[in-house]
Amino acid sequence: MRKTHRPLTTLALALSLFMAALEVTVVSTAMPTVVGELGGIERYAWVFTAYMLSSTITVPIYGKLADLYGRKPILLFGTGLFLVGSMASGLSTSMNMLIAFRTLQGLGAGAIQPVALTIIGDIYSLEERAKVQGAFSAVWGVAGLIGPLTGGLIVKYLSWHWVFFINVPVGVGTALLLMTFFHEQVHRKPQKLDFAGAALLSAGVVALLFGVQGIGQNLWGLPVAVLLLFAFVLVERKAPEPVIPMSIFKQPAIAISSVAGALFSAAMFGATTYVPLYVQGVLGGSPTLAGGMITPMIVAWPVASVFAGRMLLKTSFRPLIVGGLALTVVGTLPMPLLLRPDVPLIIPQLAMGLFGVGLGFASTALMIAVQTSVGWELRGVATASNMFFRTIGGALGVGLMGGVLVSQLLKDPTIPVSAANSLLGPEHGHGVPPEMLKTLSGALSTGLTINFWLIFALTAASFVAGLFFPRVSRSSGTAVPAADAAAPH
C-alpha cells in the first residue's frame, strides 16, 4: 500500500476547511444584500438554518461512515455534494430556491470539517496534533481577513451570485490532492447502518428547529421534538452500530464538551448572522462595513487557537477551556450595550475580537480533549458527535433568534413584514413612507438587541458548563484522580 504524503494531505485538508470557512464569512456579509434583492426577510434565518440543519443532521452519519468505510471516500463525496450545492445556490432566482440549494450544500458540508479533523487525528500524534490543529486554525484567520472584504467587493462590483461560485476552484483542488496523496488502510467488516436512528435524529432536529423558530406564534415542534429525540436515545442504546453511541457520553470530558460547544456555537453563529444585519438594516452601513464588524472575531479565533495548541503541550485542558469561555462572556456583553448608532464601531469591534480569542482557546482545547478520550475506532464518531452538537447549537441559536426577529416585525399588523426588505437594499428604505420606515427600523433594532442579549446569555451558560469540565490527562484523555489533580498534565 502506498504511503500517505503528509504535507500535501495536510494542504488538501487545509483547503477543505478554507472552503468551509470562506462559506461562513462571505455569505454572512452578502446575505443582507441578497435579501434586499430577492425579498423574504421573514425567511432570512432559513438561509443559514437550512444549511446548518442539513449539515448538522449528517455530521454524525458521516462520522460513522468514516469509521466503517474510511475517511477518504466520505470526504470526497461530501466535497462533491458541497460544490454542486454551491453552484446551484449561485444560480438561485428566489429565496425559496436559495434555501433549497443551501440545504443541498449543507448535506455535503456535514462531511468536510469533522472528517478533515478526524484525518488530522489519524496521521499526527498527540504532540503533533496540538501544534497542527492550532496552526490549522490559521485557515480560519485567512478566511476571516479576506472573506468579509471579498464578499463586499463581490456584491459591489459583480453580483451576490458569485459568493457561491468562488468555492468551486478550491473544492476541485482539494479533491485532486486527496485522491492523489492521501492513502489509508481500512479493515472493512459487515456492518448494519443505523437507519432508524438516523431518521429519528433527522426528524427530531427538524421539529426542534421549527419549534424554536415559532417563538410567540406556533410551538408545535417542541413537544414533537421531545418525543422523537427520546425515541432516538432508546433506539441508539440498542443499535449494534449507533449513529451516536450513548456510551461515549459517560465520559465527562465528552459530555461537557458537547454541552459547552452547543452553547458557544449558538452564540457564535448568532453573532455572524445578525451583527451584519444590524449594521446594514439599522445603521445603514455597507456590506463591507457589515463584514468588518465580525472580522475581528473570525480572525482572533484562529490566532488564539495557534497559541492554545502550543499551550496545551505545557498545561492541561481545563485552564484553557474555563479561561477561554470566560473571555467569551466578557466579549459578548458589550454587544447589546454598545452596538448603537451613538457609539463608535471600533468599541464593539474590539469586543468581538475578545469574543474570538475566547472561542479559539476553548474550542481547540475541547476538540483535542474529545479526540484524546477515545481510540481510532471511535475517533471519527466522537469528533463528529462533538461537531454535531456545535452545529446543532448554531442552527437552533440562529433559528431562535430568527423567531425573535420575525415576532418583532409582526407586532404591527398594519405593516407587511415584507416591507422591511427595503431596509437592506442599497437605497436603505428609499420610497417607504417615513412613519412606516421608522416603525420597521425600530422593530428591527429591538429584535436584534434582544438577540444580542441572548448571545450574551448563551456564552454565560457555556462558561457555567465549562466549570464542570474534569481535570484530564493529556496522554490518555482519562480523568485524573483527585490526589494527582494538582500535578501539571
SS3 119: helix
Q: Assign residue 374 a region: left if phi > 0, alpha if psi is -120 to 50, beta otherwise? A: beta
Question: Can you read off the three cell numbers belonging to residue 225?
Answer: 421534538
Sequential DSSP letters for 24-58? HHHHHHHHHHHHHHH--GGGHHHHHHHHHHHHHHH
11 closest CA partner among 165, 131, 170: 170
Which pLDDT value is given to residue 230?
93
Note the pLDDT tens digit of each residue in 257-285.
999 999 999 999 899 888 888 888 788 77
Which pLDDT value is given to residue 419?
64
Note the pLDDT tens digit of each residue in 444-458.
888 899 999 999 999
Which pLDDT value is given to residue 485?
29
- Interatomic CA distance for residues 206 and 126, integer angstroms: 37
The kind and range of the H/E element at 78 are helix 71-90
Which pLDDT value is given to residue 480?
36
b/e string for 331-370 if b means 16 or more Cβ within 10 A? bbbbbbebbeeeeebeebbebbbbbbbbbbbbbbbbbbbb
pTM of the model: 0.74
User: Which residue do the cell numbers 436512528 mark?
Assistant: 197
Residues of the chain with pLDDT below 70 are 1, 126-127, 129-131, 133-138, 140-141, 144-145, 187-192, 214-219, 376-377, 380, 412, 414-432, 472-489
420, 451 contact by CB (below 8 A): no
Residues in the chain: 489
User: How far, in Å, are 218, 334, 344, 370 from residue 339 at the CA level?
Assistant: 31, 7, 8, 36
